[in-house]
Amino acid sequence: MTQTIKTPKIELIHWIDTFAIEDEWYDINTPHPPRHIYTCGYLVGEDDKYVHLATTFDIDSETYSVAIAIYKPCIQHRDTLAAPGYH
């Protein structure tokens, strides 16, 4: 018997992150390419500014842990890897 587990969908998000430039001297023409980041997790929340992904989801209590809020203007691409309620 296959049991359906109630979970949020799982997404893979490609986004551009902010980053610190080392404490050194740089020529004004020195390029600083953006940091391309891929984050995968349970979609536990979303509003008009942020997407909230968590790495851990407890199906019994429907709670999550270890989450990140990704600022939407930084998002380059989103893919759904697993639909909600997969088993």
CATH number at residue 43: 2.30.30
In a domain, 55, yes or no: yes
Domain containing residue 38: 1-18+32-79
The pLDDT value recorded for residue 1 is 54
Backbone φ/ψ region at 85: left (φ over 0), alpha (ψ -120 to 50), beta: left
22-59: per-residue pLDDT in tens?
Answer: 899 999 999 999 999 999 999 999 999 999 999 999 98
Residue 2's pLDDT is 63
Confidence at residue 26, expressed as pLDDT on a 0 to 100 scale: 93
Q: Domain for residue 54, yes or no?
A: yes
Residue 38 forms part of a structural domain:
yes
Q: Please report the pLDDT score of residue 86 as a whole number.
A: 67
Q: What's the number of domains the chain is made of?
A: 1
Return the closest-CA partner of residue 12 out of 71, 84, 82, 78. 78
86 within domain boundaries: no
Predicted local distance difference test score (pLDDT) of residue 6? 83
Average pLDDT, rounded, for the chain: 92
In a domain, 23, yes or no: no
